Amino acid sequence: MVHVLFYFALLALLLVPLILAIKGEPKENVAIVIVALEGTLAVLRATAAVMEPWATTDSFRRWWLVYKAPRAGTMVLHIVFFLLLLVIVDMTASLAPLIAIQTSDLAKLMFVDVLLVLMVLTFTIREIAASRDPLRPAGMDRNWFVRLFYIWRPRRAAVWLPRLVWYASAFVLLLLGPGILADSTNNLRLSASLENIGEVSHIMLILAVAISGRGWVRSLEISRLRTPDSASGSRVRRFLPLHIPSKAIGWLPLAMFWISAALVVGVVVRSDLVLGLLGLPDANVYYIAGLAALTVVGAGQWARVFEGVETRKEQPVGTAGV
């Protein structure tokens, strides 16, 4: 960490004075920042020298702390994490005046959404870097953030597809979700949801895709300790969830599967009637059918987790990031 902080402070010494000068800060303030960063670099160098006095006899490598460096990829992740933290702090400080000049609630929320996405990205990078730490205790439990976004190397390449479905649908849900409460002036009112039946239906479809996509990822991350038998009904059961779930939560993917399957058939057969009932008479038929079909696939895979006839265990803790 001393090495990484040293590189970060060195990068800040190169960039921060330039940024302050572009913003028109007084030269005295810029000089104070330069002196503070130079002092930080000196303290970090001295700390490293005390901790590792015999690390290297090469004066150049000792001065720039390039001995015993971590892997290049890990170092890049650490530096990117610190840079993003700096960006988040700067954005948070500048958000208030930007939000104040917006004329609608939705426009204000857009700035908050961007900040939230940036925070998720920042701490995703942190978890990827932490997983590559050679001092990380073996078998350490994943925290809630890692489990929520599945921030570890998948066991097989096929897992990337449902992960992308989950990430993309969650991102779209964050951007479009507040629209169900927006009135004609793009301000938020609870009663506006009664007027936005089409937006509510659209958001519910995207929410179903996100939930089923995450369940789909989970189903692929679980080791199945039993090979499918050759019974007459086994092939049908592979495609259609016809079992009684082992847990109460298992009824959720079952309901999502059959409701979404009925929606796909309804949209294809009688699009005018079904889209009208959903408040989406002008929506693209293939788009709505596609959202429902993604839910069918994800919920069907997720439902297999609750078949209750197998013993399963979670994948061991990964040692690499997404």
Token pair for residue 79? 């530096």
| Rounded Cα–Cα distance for residues 37 and 221 (Å) | 46
Q: How many of the other CB atoms lie within 10 Å of CB of 178?
A: 19
pLDDT tens readout for residues 201-245: 999 999 999 999 999 998 887 754 344 444 444 555 666 888 888
| Rounded Cα–Cα distance for residues 178 and 216 (Å) | 26
- Lowest mean pLDDT of 77-81, 115-119, 173-177, name the range: 77-81
**pLDDT of 321 strictly over 60:** no
Whole-model pTM: value is 0.71
Sign of CA dihedral 206, 207, 211, 214: positive
The confidence score (pLDDT) of residue 317 equals: 43
In the chain, where are the structural domains located? 153-317
